[in-house]
Structures are given as C-alpha cells and as structure tokens.
Amino acid sequence: MPGITLGDTVPNLDVETTYKNFKLHDYFADSWTVLFSHPGDFTPVCTTELGAMGKYAHEFEQRGVKLLGLSCDDIQSHKDWIPDIEAFTPGSKVTYPIIADPNKEIIPQLNMIDPIENGPSRALHIVGPDCKIKLSFLYPSTTGRNMDEVLRALDSLLMAAKHKNKIATPVNWKPYEPVVISPAVSDEEANKLFPKGFKTAQLPSKKGYLRVADVS
C-alpha cells in the first residue's frame, strides 16, 4: 500500500480539531498517540467506535497515551455528532480531539485510504514520541475495530520499547505474561537483562532460539 507505513515519520500537518488547531508533531511530542480515522460522521460503525474510544479513554490515560480521531467532515458536523456518539455508548465521553478533513486532503497524507473503495478508511496508527508509526491497522468498511486488541497491541509496543526492543511478545500475549527474547540477544546478555532468569524451549531442531522470560 503506498504512502507512509511502519517506521515512517508522520507528516507535521496543521490540523483543525474539535478542541483547537495544532501541528501533529506538537500533539505527538513526549507521548504515544493512537490516531484513528473514520470515513464520515453520522455513520453507524464509526459511531460505535468513537463511543468505545471514549469509554476506553481511561485505559489509554493510565498508559500515558493520547487519542486523536479524524473524520472526513467539518468541525460543526463533528460537534453535532458527538451527542449521538455518547448517547449510543453509555458511559462514553468524547474528551479527545477529532480532526476535521471535509476536503479529504489529510487522509491520503496519513495513508488512511481504503484501497478497495478508493476512499477514506477505517484505519489506526499507533505513533511513538518520535512521531514515527509503530503499528497500523486497516479495516474494511464492514468491520468495526476491537478495542481490546488495540490495547493489547499498544501494551506490546510499550513493553518492547521499555526493554529497548530486546524482547517481543508471543501469540495472544497479554500484560503480565512471559515474553520472548530477541535472537539478537546473547545468553550472556540475557542473563544480565533478566535477573529472574529465562527458559530455553527444548525443540526438535535443538536450536536455542526460543527463550522465554518473566518481566512482570
């Protein structure tokens, strides 16, 4: 898919939002950010998703992570839409800013385009404090996002960053579960990094590449 992708720096665009106008890099500075796009206001799946983001906002706040929405309508439309979002999802408060993009100029610059429908997509970028994309999800218009998976993936990224990417999280990993050690880390270094020790899986190949450590 063309456009910015993993490891690329998000362009420092000037954006208008429901709270105030700012440059994207100013918003990303010194924290992680979940940037998520929507094809348009007053649409059913998007309404459920923005409500869920509002309901999960405290989970992101606890992790020191900001939320930033984007929808392809103007500011007044966003503001008129918010009561519907909060009404449909009890307990939800849309306290995060939503970018306006009525002319669909920002969406392509952020590579949030649906290649099937050739228009705005239901996309999500997790952006690091260095303004680089660390993870991206792209969903078809028929499929709403799973907020638990967004949080799980975010926790994985935060865990890897904490350990300077010398660990990775295995399949279906959740916080407080063991992680695997990068093959680039020697056993000697691993002993220093993981004082609780680690276990090497005994596999038919006899290769000691799968090492599991408890970092909780």
Summarize the confidence of residues 169-177 as an average pLDDT.
Answer: 96
Q: What percent of the chain has pLDDT over 70?
A: 99
Q: Are 10 and 133 in contact (CB under 8 A)?
A: yes
The average pLDDT across 148-167 equals: 97
Query: Is position 72 annotated as part of the catalytic site?
Result: no
pLDDT in tens, 56-67: 999 999 999 999
> What pLDDT is stored for residue 126 in this prediction?
98
Query: What is the pLDDT at residue 2?
Result: 60
* Local confidence band at 1 (pLDDT 50, 70, 90 cut-offs): very low
Q: Active-site residue among 10, 46, 82, 181? A: 46
139 near 123, Cβ under 8 Å?
yes
Choose between 142 and 134: higher pLDDT.
134
CA 168 – CA 129 distance, rounded (Å): 20
* pLDDT tens profile 103-119: 999 999 999 988 877 77
Amino acid at 187: D
CA distances from 27 to 14, 17, 31, 68, 136 (A): 11, 12, 9, 9, 18
H/E run at residue 172: none
For position 115, what pLDDT does the model report? 84
- Bridging pattern class, strands 98-100 and 65-71: parallel
Global pTM reads 0.94
- How far apart CA 47 and CA 157 sit, in angstroms, is 27
Cα separation, 188 vs 174, whole angstroms: 27
Residue 120: its pLDDT value, please? 80
pLDDT tens digits, 67-80? 999 999 999 999 99
Q: Where are the beta strands (DSSP E) in the chain?
A: 14-16, 21-23, 32-38, 65-71, 98-100, 113-114, 119-120, 122-127, 133-139, 167-168, 179-181, 198-200, 211-213
The per-residue pLDDT for 114 is 86
